[in-house]
């Protein structure tokens, strides 16, 4: 069967797909609108099939997702890959979608930015329902390992994310990262804490709208060949600047500065990116920082925090070495009293930590302010 991938209203190319397997690329319509991850040979007018497969396979719930097994039992015998294509492959982080060539359906009638979506799967993920559910949801394609769901709050699209054992700290960490960014003048998406039942979640609004897409830095890192003589840091900034991301260096430096302060352990290349207009293809700039929760010794025992030196990402594993990249250019003054207060205030909102280890927030705050 022939399918077409669209970017919003623009057909990009068509391809043959049988049982969710891409057989071949058929016609190329508007290759410049393709996902950056998908390789296109301009001279030969060829879309590289394997890069398209790779793109689709990466646009799904990962195997590492918490409680994946319970989810799999409830999605009508589908694999996570099949699930990602179940409702036109739509997402709330970009405007790509796939339809059968002869289907007359239009983007305006199905996209999740302007149309409502089923809340079933969100409720299910957070343990509120065990019945079968509608697959008309952007949660089919969401990335990341923490339990999460897009929900509707009046006309806003909100990403709700859980936290992991043993300290359930990530949701609070997101808020701390946002609050610290705010006092430092760093562009971080706003996270708030939300209690649902026994659990606490982080919530943030969508920073993508129906005219934009989030392009993770991984999209450029995975395709381009880095010459040996330049560092990964310089390479990423150069590639971003070539694409028109004018504030790339500043944005990345500020992000690395935040990550240095909060001991972020998981800033891999899919955890930051830039924003592009899907109509004009104009690059808008770096996306606000998101996903800073895997930080602040989220899974380290209290007794090990003082001497902890966790590995970091994405340019170096050593935190101090990564900081060397930006040290000379950062001229932000760190108010350690404010940072201490933010950490203590936000972590004391965790009923779990207050009950089991009320001194943990002090141990973390002490470590952070003594390490900047
Ligand atoms: N506020 C947001 N607006 C749009 N897309 C987002 C937003 N937050 C996250 N995303 C997208 O959802 C993915 C998963 O969210 P993330 O916060 O990274 O979860 P996890 O902590 O499980 O990795 C991100 O990689 C990004 O593509
Ligand atoms: Mg992530």
* Probe residue for ligand 1, chosen from 113, 175, 192, 291 as the CB with the greatest number of ligand atoms within 8 Å: 291
E strands within the chain?
Answer: 2-7, 10-18, 21-28, 40-41, 46-47, 96-100, 148-153, 156-161, 191-196, 199-205, 212-216, 273-277, 283-286
What is the spatial distance between Cα 60 and Cα 53, in angstroms, rounded to a whole number?
Answer: 12
pTM: 0.96
Confidence band for 132, pLDDT divided at 50, 70 and 90: low
For 129, residues 6+ apart whose C-beta sits below 8 A from its C-beta are: 120, 123
Tokens of 274: 């830039």
**Res 133 pLDDT > 80:** no
Q: Is the CB of 173 under 6 A from ligand 1?
A: no
What is the spatial distance between Cα 203 and Cα 206, in angstroms, rounded to a whole number?
Answer: 10
Question: Mean pLDDT throughout 345-358?
Answer: 97
User: What letter does residue 320 receive in the DSSP assignment?
Assistant: H
Q: Which ligand does the CA of 94 lie closest to?
A: 1
Q: What pLDDT does 74 receive?
A: 82
pLDDT tens column, 53-84? 999 999 999 999 988 888 888 887 889 999 99
CA angle 144, 145, 151 (to 5 degrees): 65
For 9, residues 6+ apart whose C-beta sits below 8 A from its C-beta are: 106, 107
pLDDT tens column, 250-286? 999 999 999 999 999 999 999 999 999 999 999 999 9
- Given phi > 0 = left and psi -120 to 50 = alpha, else beta, which region is 62? beta
Q: Is the CB of 145 under 6 A from ligand 1?
A: yes
Q: What spacing in Å lies between the alpha carbon of 111 and ligand 2's midpoint?
A: 23
Average pLDDT across the chain, whole number: 95
The residue with greater pLDDT, 103 or 71, is 103
- In this structure, the number of other CB atoms found within 10 A of the CB of residue 310 comes to 16
Are 179 and 163 in contact by the 8 Å Cβ rule? The answer is: no
Atom of ligand 1 nearest to the CA of 189: 1
Q: What pLDDT does 131 receive?
A: 63
Nearest CA to ligand 1 atom 24: 143
Q: What pLDDT does 223 receive?
A: 87
């Amino acid at each position: 069967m022939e399918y077409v991938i669209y970017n919003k209203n623009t057909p990009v190319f068509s391809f043959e797909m049988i049982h969710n397997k891409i057989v071949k690329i058929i016609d190329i319509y508007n290759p410049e609108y393709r996902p950056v991850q998908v390789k296109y040979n301009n001279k030969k007018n060829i879309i590289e099939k394997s890069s398209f497969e790779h793109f689709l396979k990466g646009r799904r719930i990962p195997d590492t997702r918490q409680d994946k097994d319970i989810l799999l039992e409830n999605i009508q015998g589908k694999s996570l890959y099949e699930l990602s294509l179940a409702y036109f492959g739509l997402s709330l982080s970009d405007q790509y979608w796939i339809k059968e060539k002869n289907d007359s359906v239009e983007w305006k009638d199905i996209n999740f930015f302007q149309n409502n979506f089923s809340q079933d799967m969100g409720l299910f993920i957070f343990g509120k329902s065990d019945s079968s559910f509608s697959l008309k949801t952007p949660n089919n394609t969401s990335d990341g390992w923490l339990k999460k769901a897009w929900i509707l709050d009046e006309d806003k699209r909100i990403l709700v994310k859980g936290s992991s054992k043993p300290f359930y700290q990530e949701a609070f960490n997101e808020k701390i990262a946002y609050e610290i960014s705010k006092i430092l003048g760093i562009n971080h998406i706003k996270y708030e804490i939300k209690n649902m039942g026994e659990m606490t979640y982080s919530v943030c609004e969508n920073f993508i709208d129906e005219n934009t897409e989030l392009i993770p830095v991984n999209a450029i890192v995975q395709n381009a060949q880095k010459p040996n003589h330049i560092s990964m840091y310089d390479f990423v900034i150069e590639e971003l600047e070539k694409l028109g991301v004018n504030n790339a260096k500043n944005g990345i430096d500020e992000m690395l500065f935040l990550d240095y302060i909060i001991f972020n352990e998981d800033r891999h290349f899919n955890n930051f990116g830039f924003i592009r207009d899907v109509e004009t293809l104009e690059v808008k700039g770096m996306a606000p920082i998101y996903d800073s929760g895997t930080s602040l010794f989220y899974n380290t025992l209290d007794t090990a925090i003082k001497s902890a030196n966790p590995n970091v990402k994405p340019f170096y594993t050593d935190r101090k070495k990564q900081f060397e990249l930006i040290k000379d250019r950062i001229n932000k003054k760190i108010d350690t009293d404010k940072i201490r207060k933010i950490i203590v205030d936000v972590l004391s909102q965790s009923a779990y930590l207050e009950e089991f280890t009320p001194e943990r927030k002090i141990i973390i705050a002490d470590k952070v302010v003594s390490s900047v």
